[in-house]
Amino acid sequence: IDQVIAIGPMAMMRAVADLTRKVGLPTLVSVDPVMVDGTGMCGACRLTVNGQVKFGCVDGPLFDGHQVDFEEQVQRGKMYADEERVALDAWRCGGGCR
């Protein structure tokens, strides 16, 4: 094996990157942040890679897994948790419950 490509939940990709870093195995991860406009102008898909701001919609979705700031991505992924719960509850009720 000369390279690993990890596609899946953020926690799994982070774990894979941690393991492959120990043995020096190049690793790409497929980061799928919230994407609004697909041009990078809105900044919703912003992430930090090797200390630099990147945009998932124009620079990705594949990034060096050893350079991605996974902690930042996890926190950004939780940003809309309350709104997601409200939307899910409304969907479960057919949109009509309160």
Q: Which helix (H) or strand (E) holds 31?
A: none
Q: What is the number of other CB atoms lying within 10 angstroms of the CB of residue 50?
A: 11
Would you call 64 helix, strand, or coil by DSSP?
strand
- Predicted confidence at residue 98, as pLDDT, reads 62
Interhelix angle 70-77/10-23, rounded to 10 degrees, is 180
Alpha-carbon dihedral 36, 41, 42, 45, rounded to 10 degrees: 60
pLDDT tens figures, 22-61: 999 999 999 987 778 878 888 888 999 999 999 998 999 9
